[in-house]
Amino acid sequence: MRKVVFSEDCVEVDNGFFFGKGVFETILIKDEPVFLYEHIKRLNKGIKFLNIGEEVSEYQIINLIEEFNIRNCALKIVVTEKNIVLSTRSISYKSGDYLRGFSLKISKVNRNSKSKLTYLKSLNYLENILEREEAIKNGYDEAIFLNEYGFLAEGSMSNVFIIKDNKIFTPSIKCGLLPGVVRGFLVKEYDVIEKEITLEELLTADEIFITNSLLGIMGISKIENRILKENKLTNLIRKEYEAKIEN
């Protein structure tokens, strides 16, 4: 039986602490959790892959959300062999961020499309954090990874979409990316083409946007030194997405 704690409480030391053998999900909580089923499904897939014990039920998380009255915040769930750790934080993204748009820096580190860890939302997240911190240090909001073959993979905390001639493209999963919950939603809801995207295609896109569960859909105003002025389709998709999750 795992111990369920909030992050400020004590946890039992296990291989999650020593070796990062654990998984996590970050869920947007409004009046209710957004895409809870999809998050728990991915969490359990990781638990099974790492062989770290029994699955977490959607019912269990709903009860914890109600018990601790978790509302209008980000909820992080970390699961290791001996622990389920919950922590909450406020949503840092403001309306001005969406008006301004994010800027992207292409990382010099390549994503390994052959690594099992690439496709797992595990506790081995340090490379992503370091590359994002480096991007922020240089005046950007997010770091973008190419894979070992030079194709677009993902962001340090996001999935990437490009728009060209009113068509929406995103890297296929085999390019080396963690398929996000919002990414999955958009692929189902829109005519999204999954393919290998070259660096040139990325840099010459009409529009670019990134996604994750907390920021939803964020338009890109700059990639490296190139300024992007078009965001009409991105704004439409974001408006439709926000309307759906509010309902």
Closest CA to 209 of 149, 164, 146: 164
Which of 44, 73, 89 is the endpoint of a domain? 89
Q: What does pLDDT average to over the chain?
A: 95
The b/e string for 81-92 (b: 16+ C-beta within 10 A; e otherwise) is: bbbbbbbbeeee
* 166-209 pLDDT tens trace: 999 999 999 999 999 999 999 999 999 999 999 999 999 999 99
Question: What percent of the chain clears pLDDT 70, i.e. is strictly above it?
Answer: 97
Domain range spanning residue 123? Answer: 95-246
Angle between the N-to-C axes of helices 36-50 and 58-67, in degrees from 0 to 180, rounded to the nearest 10: 120
Strand partners, 78: 24, 85
Amino acid type, 235: N
Same domain (yes/no): 143, 41: no
| Same domain, yes or no: 168 and 199 | yes
Number of domains in the chain: 2
Please state, for a pLDDT cut of 90, what percent of the chain lies above it.
92
152 and 33 part of one domain: no
Hey, which residues does 154 pair with through a beta bridge?
145
Q: How far is CA 167 from the centre of its chain?
A: 22
20-57 tens-digit pLDDT? 999 999 999 999 999 999 999 999 999 999 999 999 99
CATH number (domain holding residue 56)? 3.30.470.10
Q: In this model, does residue 8 exceed pLDDT 60?
A: no
Q: To which residue do tokens 């018990």 refer?
A: 67
Q: Is 9 exposed, middle or buried, given 0-12, 13-18 or 19+ CB atoms closer than 10 A?
A: exposed
Same domain, residue pair 108 and 139 = yes
pLDDT reported for residue 145: 98
Separation CA 122–CA 107 (nearest Å):
21
